[in-house]
């Protein structure tokens, strides 16, 4: 990894670039597949599953017997770990429930807001090189708490045409019953338009590769909402000599092993610490089963020396990391000053993988700088805020003249008349 020393602000725009393809280079493929799925439904979905996943099968839905067999195959110790993670995620997301908000804005004018669940949601669970059953927990648990009526899960099949036992067990644990062996662009297209087998949904959740990210963005053009543009994983760590170099290296590698297009960055005020972390990365990576993939991500990553703490904070906010770890004696500055991050991890004993699995926070987070405008998935992601109002006779007399004047000034006479006709009766 290259050590970049005190980079000039003018160079930051280059440093914060992600190692991803441009949308333009992907969008044409996504548009073509969307059009095919919209016109040809299941036939198109099966065609692309054969093309991209090498699986020729007309059966996409998971059966009850497959669910049962998967549950039996998962070791009891892992089941208990999944159950503990589920409990923590439930605890954190249940705490996010809010009560009905009601206020009388002026005498006789009553306004209130209530939450309503999104009725039909689609969960995309990445498979590929690492079937992320933890993502099932992160999406299905808050969906259940919110009260979503229909939860559809799509995930790509493995080379044997099956779904990982852990994904099926976790889905079953969370009450998900509609599961389909479909991944990639074709899964997002199926959830967007609906097919003979897969129902159309109102909102799609879940991370994925660059193709899935662009597919989700295209889905919004057809009236389907998405959680956020969540692409390849990324992590930024700010650390000084008070941090443990081995710990920091392990955190950087934990995200690097997600995929070749992941990115990890270390910012420090100590050149010696950067060098020590670099040494630790080499030592630890040699022992990783996914070291070739981690190496590709490390090649896209950076060690950055920034001597001034405020300058470091400004750089981090410009980058807007998905995951942000703070291991610094100047902890308060970074915690109070961070504006753009998906999720923040504080101190030497808070590994990023805790948030990935079991602490309770959600791991579906904005990447590629989208943390500047997007939140990570939370309970509110699965519901809508609806407003209500009821105006009494007294209330209309109090507010009516204001409405009439404003409507007339905008040239909307019918708006004014809707009030005037009532006031005349009063």
User: Which H/E stretch holds residue 204?
Assistant: strand 203-205
Pick the catalytic residue: 278, 322, 352, 363? Answer: 322
Pick the catalytic residue: 280, 323, 352, 363? Answer: 323
The answer to whether 96 is annotated as binding is no
The answer to whether 268 is annotated as binding is no
φ and ψ of 245, to 5 deg: -60, -35
Is 363 part of the annotated catalytic residue set?
A: no
Q: How far apart are CA 277 and CA 319, in angstroms?
A: 21
Yes or no: say if 86 and 141 are a contact pair by the CB < 8 Å rule: yes
The answer to whether 209 is annotated as binding is yes
Yes or no: say if 341 and 361 are a contact pair by the CB < 8 Å rule: no
The answer to whether 368 is annotated as binding is no
The answer to whether 124 is annotated as binding is yes
Closest-CA residue to 419 (of 410, 111, 110, 408): 408
Per this entry, what is the length of the chain? 426
The answer to whether 93 is annotated as binding is no
Q: How far apart are CA 127 and CA 124, in angstroms?
A: 9
Helices 245-256 and 271-285 sit at what angle, rounded to 10 degrees? 60
Yes or no: say if 416 and 397 are a contact pair by the CB < 8 Å rule: no
The answer to whether 363 is annotated as binding is no
User: Positive or negative CA dihedral for 275, 277, 282, 283?
Assistant: positive
The answer to whether 40 is annotated as binding is no
Is 352 part of the annotated catalytic residue set?
A: no
Strand positions, DSSP E, 131-187: 150-155, 178-181
Question: Within its chain, how far is the Cα of 293 from the centroid?
Answer: 22
Sequence ranges of the binding site for Zn(2+): 255, 258, 356, 415
Sequence ranges of the binding site: 124, 186, 209, 233, 255, 258, 323, 356, 410, 415
Sequence ranges of the binding site for NAD(+): 124, 186, 209
Residues labelled as active-site residues: 322-323
Sequence ranges of the binding site for substrate: 233, 255, 258, 323, 356, 410, 415
């Amino acid at each position: 990894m290259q050590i970049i020393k005190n980079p000039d602000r003018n160079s930051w725009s280059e440093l914060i670039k992600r190692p991803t393809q441009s949308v333009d280079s992907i969008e044409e493929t996504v548009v073509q597949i969307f059009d095919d799925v919209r016109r040809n439904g299941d036939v198109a979905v099966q065609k692309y599953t054969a093309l991209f996943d090498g699986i020729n099968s007309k059966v996409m839905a998971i059966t009850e017997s497959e669910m049962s067999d998967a549950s039996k195959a998962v070791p009891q110790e892992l089941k208990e770990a999944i159950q503990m993670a589920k409990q923590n995620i439930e605890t954190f997301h249940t705490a996010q429930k809010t009560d009905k908000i009601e206020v009388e804005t002026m005498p006789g004018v009553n306004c209130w807001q209530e939450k309503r669940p999104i009725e039909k949601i689609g969960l995309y669970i990445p498979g590929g090189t690492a079937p992320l059953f933890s993502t099932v927990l992160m999406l299905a648990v808050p969906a259940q708490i919110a009260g979503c009526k229909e939860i559809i899960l799509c995930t790509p099949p493995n080379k044997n045409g099956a779904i990982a036992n852990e994904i099926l067990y976790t889905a079953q644990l969370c009450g998900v019953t509609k599961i389909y062996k479909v991944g990639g662009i074709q899964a997002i297209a199926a959830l967007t338009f609906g097919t003979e087998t897969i129902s159309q949904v109102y909102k799609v959740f879940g991370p994925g590769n660059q193709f899935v990210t662009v597919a989700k963005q295209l889905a919004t053009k057809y009236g389907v909402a998405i959680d956020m543009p969540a692409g390849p994983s990324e992590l930024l760590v700010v650390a000084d000599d008070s941090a443990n170099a081995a710990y920091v290296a392990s955190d950087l590698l934990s995200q690097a092993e997600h995929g070749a297009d992941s990115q990890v960055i270390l910012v420090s005020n100590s050149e010696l610490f950067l060098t020590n972390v670099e040494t630790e990365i080499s030592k630890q990576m040699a022992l990783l089963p996914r070291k070739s993939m981690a190496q590709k991500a490390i090649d896209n990553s950076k060690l950055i020396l920034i001597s001034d703490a405020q300058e470091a904070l400004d750089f981090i906010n410009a980058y807007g990391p998905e995951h942000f770890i703070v291991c610094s004696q100047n902890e308060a500055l970074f915690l109070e000053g961070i504006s753009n991050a998906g999720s923040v991890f504080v101190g030497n004993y808070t590994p990023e993988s805790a948030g990935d699995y079991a602490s309770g926070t959600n791991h579906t987070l904005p990447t590629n700088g989208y943390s500047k405008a997007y939140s990570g998935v939370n309970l509110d992601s699965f519901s809508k805020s609806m407003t209500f109002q009821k105006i009494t006779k007294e209330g209309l007399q109090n507010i009516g003249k204001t409405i009439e004047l404003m409507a007339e000034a905008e040239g909307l006479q019918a708006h004014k008349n809707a009030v005037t006709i009532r006031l005349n009766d009063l």
